[in-house]
Amino acid sequence: MVLDPHRRDMAEVRMVIYPGRYKGGGPTFDVAGEPGDLTATSPGDPGQTLRGKTLEDRAGAIEQTLADASRGFRLRWTRAIATPETSAPPTSGLPLHGDSSR
């Protein structure tokens, strides 16, 4: 997911979920969609897209399709979130860090 760097009202949260033991080198599956309609795609195997309603559904389906499940796998889910416009707290009258003149 690529966010527009010029949009100050949007940010992203990236979650990496390890549904079981993970040994380095296991595949990573990118999760997309909304709860109730999720997909998981392996960037290493773009033809492999799995659909389901929950992350648990995705984890179970992935586990069944892995040729070598001994290394485990992980799910990477990046979600766009809105950020509220907030102003900086007022600093007038407050001493600056290290300012002992007040």
- What DSSP letter does each residue of 39-66 carry, written as one string? EEEETTEEEEEEEESSHHHHHHHHHHH-
Q: Is residue 40 part of a domain?
A: yes
Q: Is residue 71 part of a domain?
A: yes
Instruction: Assign 1 a pLDDT band (cuts: 50, 70, 90).
Output: very low
Specify the higher pLDDT residue, 92 or 74: 74
**Count of CB atoms situated within 10 Å of the CB of 85:** 7
Q: Is residue 101 part of a domain?
A: no
Q: How many domains does the chain contain in total?
A: 1
Q: Is residue 32 part of a domain?
A: yes
Q: Is residue 61 part of a domain?
A: yes
Would you state the pLDDT for residue 30?
92
**Count of CB atoms situated within 10 Å of the CB of 59:** 21
**Alpha-carbon distance 86 to 8, whole Å?**
11
Segment 67-74 shows an average pLDDT of 83
For 71-85, write each residue's pLDDT tens digit: 889 999 888 887 766
For 20-45, write each residue's pLDDT tens digit: 888 887 888 999 988 888 889 887 77
Q: Is residue 38 part of a domain?
A: yes
| Percent of the chain topping pLDDT 70 | 70
Give residues with Cβ within 8 angstroms of 74, minimum separation 6.
Answer: 16, 17, 18, 19, 22, 26, 27, 28, 29
